[in-house]
Structure 1
Amino acid sequence: MPNDHHSSTRPSEASPPADPVPSPPEAAAPWYRRAFADLSPLRDHADYRRVWVGQAVSSIGQQMTAVAVSVQVYDLTHSAFATGVVGLFSFVPLIAFGLYGGVIADRVDRRKLGLIGAAGLALVSAVLAVQAIAGLGQVAVLYAAVAAQACFFALSSPARSAMIPRLVPSHQLPAANALNTVSMNLGMTVGPMLGGLLIGAYGVQSAFLVDTVAFTGTLYAMWRLPTMRPLGEGKARASVLDGLRFLREQPNLRTSFLADLAAMIFGLPRSLFPAIAVTFYGGDARTVGLLVSAPAVGALIGALFSGWVARIHRQGVAVLAAVAAWGLAIATFGLLHNLWLGLLLLALAGCADTVSMIFRSTMMQVAAPDEMRGRLQGIFMVVVVGGPRLGDFESGAVAALTSPATSVITGGLACVAAVLLLAARRPAFLTYDARHPTP
């Protein structure tokens, strides 16, 4: 690993970039160009461009590995339960280490932490490839590798997210977050498809090997970054409790977190998709696959056509409107039992989720001081990981007491009701202005 004596190809320390007013040619671009994702962060900032490309490639590789692990566990055990346990070995470390990854990101050089995380993930993928080639056939090894992956990801992800405001100026943060959503959803859509093709043709070891190689992009991007020590004072005393106290005392950021939780707990019926496939459509496993992929496809489309987000300054209104649109789309999905219309509604929900994510991430990056961003990103990770699991429980419990349709409809409406409650309890959130951000 490189030390702090960087080569002359990299600056010695990163500071927030200047924030000039967007150039007139950008503002005067034709409407059809402005509708697409704004590529200016990629064009204007080489460090961000390298990080984005590296993350996009490694995200595809990680999704390939996720498919390969599930396939190998099932081949070894022929047990759906054993395959499901893979998620548990990933979930627990993500929750346990996510918060502390944020603390570490607010204490140390974030570039170095990103390097360690990428190197660790590459090493785990290499171990998976070796065990597959050697034919060890040990499920325990796969479970341990999944847990190690989750640990490295949880420790380094807050640092990578906290870097973004140091790589692009604040007026380009909405565009940068939209592009990050593109890379994430590319991984979720392209990765499983490529993984399935590779595994079918060359075995699970091929997916593991490709994933190992894919991390070279992220490693190179992190190597080229300047030093990114947290700004501000008190880094040595950074703690999880400080992050939670900060969030409690900052009503706008807290409201954005609560809006996201409402969407995931009440409006995410993914645990019901197998039952819905049968009871709504008379379908099978292929129908379940379509239902699972539809929100990701909508999210990707929403990110690709996100050129308008930089022109929205009332970002609090945008977050609540997007979460309400998610809830309405889910409730309507529960009412109308036509497959293609259902897939369209799920895609619309995914698109709304992308809009919410872009603005929530931008608010967190701009309104929070640099020395708190790692801890807030760690809390955000716990919300993103834990919220859907709570949603699985909520939707499953309501479906057991009533029916899958009732669970979906009431969940979507509860999401909308939560948005209205947040707007009533926190009217200042509706006046949040990105030009004058306040946490």
Structure 2
Amino acid sequence: MAVIGWRRWALDVTPLRTSRDFRLTYLAAGVSFLGSMVTYIAIPYQVATLTDSPLLVGLLGIVEFAPLLVTALLGGALADYLDRRKLVLGAEVGFTLLTAILVANALLPSPQLWLLYAIAAISATLDGLQRPALDSMMPRLVTPDELPAASALNSMRSTVGSLIGPLLGGALIAWVGLPAAYGLDLLTFAVSLGCLIAVRAVPPPPDADRPSVRGVITGLRYAGSRKELLGTYLVDINAMFFGMPLALYPFVADRLGGPTVLGMLYTAESVGGLVASVSSGWTGRVHRHGMMIIVAAAAWGLAIAGFGLAPTLWLALLCLAVAGAADQISGMFRGIVWNQTIPDHLRGRLAGVEMLSYTSGPSLGNLRGGVVARFTGVTGSIVSGGVLCVLTTIALAVALPAFRRYDGRDGLAHKQQVDAERAATAAAAAAD
């Protein structure tokens, strides 16, 4: 009985056993993300070292977000029309070249600040082209019944990368230097490119819409018409905008112990996220997905406020771990809602909208944190953001009753009906 009870909570790895292409894509994305998380902390740290300015570190968020406003929607439209695997592979080659430039810049006697912002902007551009294709591949690689398990696995993949990457990055920066941190990221692309080359093609649906402004608008209208989808976007943007203190981590780390502590701060959230992931077996038995996202977002805000008030390193890390677990649970249920409700012919475009939702919040949130810190200090910025996150999450829950009451069984039935009707229409047109 104890074994059966444990399995009900354990992470479901069925998609890794049953789908070869899911395994390859999972490994490619996991290794690449691990390296990216090293660079993710290295660039802000290098900017902070060169400028000693929270505002200029926060400005990285805007530099990264601005290109995504265009390329995420464009990438979504392309993912609905082209082979999704080729889009992912092409962007990965671009990331490889950019990382090589970061290594070269870090080796210069006087590294160029402008180049860090330029690479951040170009990387965001490539990410906007790659991520919708990568996200929209998943429903094609696993069966509908495996979607909750695949969503949990993807969340764990991100968590492990977020856990190990910052630790490696902080250690490399402290003990070897920035060139070594960027160099590790560069090495990871050998694995990711090899795996992606081995993945079979993921062609678009036979009646795929050609990329156009009208097609993008169609995707946006669909997202707005489905209140359960709209709720996932707004709650996540809200939580990250008010409760995302990443731009302030280098300055918190200076107070608590330096570069090694910086890696610990970035890693703490991932520890909580990993605990949530490996015990995620229960998520497949929960159907009130909207309510779970609301509860998790509010818990995130409370934990971030606690982090801002924490007087010691261990308490700060504990609060971040709780925040990471809440964010992981929110992400898992958001992924389930997206994959169970969106028809395949719109999956790429809606993945672009999703990308805007989960990247705009952190990017703008980092800027908000830097600006507010100029007037209230680092602690005031973090605490006020956490409190506002909780209050606005409650307001969104009240304003979106359809999202609050959303039942995943209804969403999956709706998607299957739309896909069947679309297939029938395409078959009838082909017969004529």
Common fold: TM-score over 0.5: yes
Q: List aligned pairs for 1:82-121, cutoff 5 A.
A: 84=57, 89-121=63-95
Number of residue equivalences: 408
Measure, in 2, the Cα distance between the counterparts of 1:276 and 1:143: 22
Shift of the alpha carbon at 1:73? 6.6
- Work out which of the residue numbers 145, 164, 180 in structure 2 matches 1:171: 145
Matching residue's letter, 1:414: L
Task: Describe the superposition over 1:235-255 as per-residue Cα deviations: whole angstroms up to 9, x where unpaired.
Answer: 115533222211111111001
Q: List aligned pairs for 1:36-75, cutoff 5 A.
A: 36-67=10-41
Shift of the alpha carbon at 1:358? 0.7
Q: Which position in structure 1 is the counterpart of 2:238?
A: 262
Contact 1:70 1:83 in 2 (8 A): no
- Work out which of the residue numbers 340, 344, 347 in structure 2 matches 1:370: 344
Q: Which position in structure 2 is the counterpart of 1:306?
A: 280
Shift of the alpha carbon at 1:144? 4.0
Cα gap change, 1:125 to 1:339, in 2 (>3 Å): closer
Matching residue's letter, 1:321: V
Measure, in 2, the Cα distance between the counterparts of 1:409 and 1:86: 22
**Pairing 1:414–2:388 present:** yes
Unmatched segments (≥5 aa) in structure 2:
416-432
**Pairing 1:240–2:212 present:** no
Task: Describe the superposition over 1:218-247 as per-residue Cα deviations: whole angstroms up to 9, x where unpaired.
Answer: 223332333323326451155332222111
Matching residue's letter, 1:364: W
- Work out which of the residue numbers 58, 76, 79 in structure 1 matches 2:51: 79
Matching residue's letter, 2:365: G
Cα gap change, 1:232 to 1:320, in 2 (>3 Å): farther
SS at match of 1:30: helix
Unmatched segments (≥5 aa) in structure 1:
1-26
Cα gap change, 1:358 to 1:198, in 2 (>3 Å): same
Task: Describe the superposition over 1:78-137 as per-residue Cα deviations: whole angstroms up to 9, x where unpaired.
Answer: 434598366554443334422221121122111111111122222333444566679895
Task: Describe the superposition over 1:358-395 as per-residue Cα deviations: whole angstroms up to 9, x where unpaired.
Answer: 11111112201112221222222222222123334555
Matching residue's letter, 2:145: H
Cα gap change, 1:433 to 1:302, in 2 (>3 Å): same
Contact 2:75 2:128 in 1 (8 A): yes
SS at match of 1:98: helix
Q: Which position in structure 2 is the counterpart of 1:33?
A: 7
Deviates more, 1:396-405 or 1:51-60: 396-405
Q: Which position in structure 1 is the counterpart of 2:316?
A: 342
Measure, in 2, the Cα distance between the counterparts of 1:48 and 1:427: 35
Task: Describe the superposition over 1:321-352 as per-residue Cα deviations: whole angstroms up to 9, x where unpaired.
Answer: 21122223334445664543332222111101
Contact 1:47 1:221 in 2 (8 A): no
Deviates more, 1:126-135 or 1:338-347: 126-135
Q: Which position in structure 2 is the counterpart of 1:211?
A: 185
Q: Which position in structure 1 is the counterpart of 2:122?
A: 148
Q: Which position in structure 2 is the counterpart of 1:324?
A: 298
Deviates more, 1:150-159 or 1:351-360: 150-159
TM-score (ref. length: structure 1): 0.79
What is the root-mean-square deviation in Å for CA atoms of aligned residues? 3.5
Shift of the alpha carbon at 1:290? 4.3
Q: List aligned pairs for 1:115-130, cutoff 5 A.
A: 115-129=89-103
Measure, in 2, the Cα distance between the counterparts of 1:172 and 1:201: 43
SS at match of 1:236: coil
Cα gap change, 1:320 to 1:69, in 2 (>3 Å): closer
TM-score (ref. length: structure 2): 0.80
Task: Describe the superposition over 1:254-282 as per-residue Cα deviations: whole angstroms up to 9, x where unpaired.
Answer: 0111111221123334455567679xxx6
Cα gap change, 1:349 to 1:102, in 2 (>3 Å): same
Cα gap change, 1:376 to 1:137, in 2 (>3 Å): same
Deviates more, 1:160-169 or 1:190-199: 190-199
Q: Which position in structure 2 is the counterpart of 1:426?
A: 400
- Work out which of the residue numbers 128, 131, 138 in structure 2 matches 1:157: 131
Deviates more, 1:107-116 or 1:388-397: 388-397
Measure, in 2, the Cα distance between the counterparts of 1:131 and 1:315: 45
Measure, in 2, the Cα distance between the counterparts of 1:375 and 1:183: 23
Q: Which has the higher helix share?
A: 2
Measure, in 2, the Cα distance between the counterparts of 1:418 and 1:319: 14
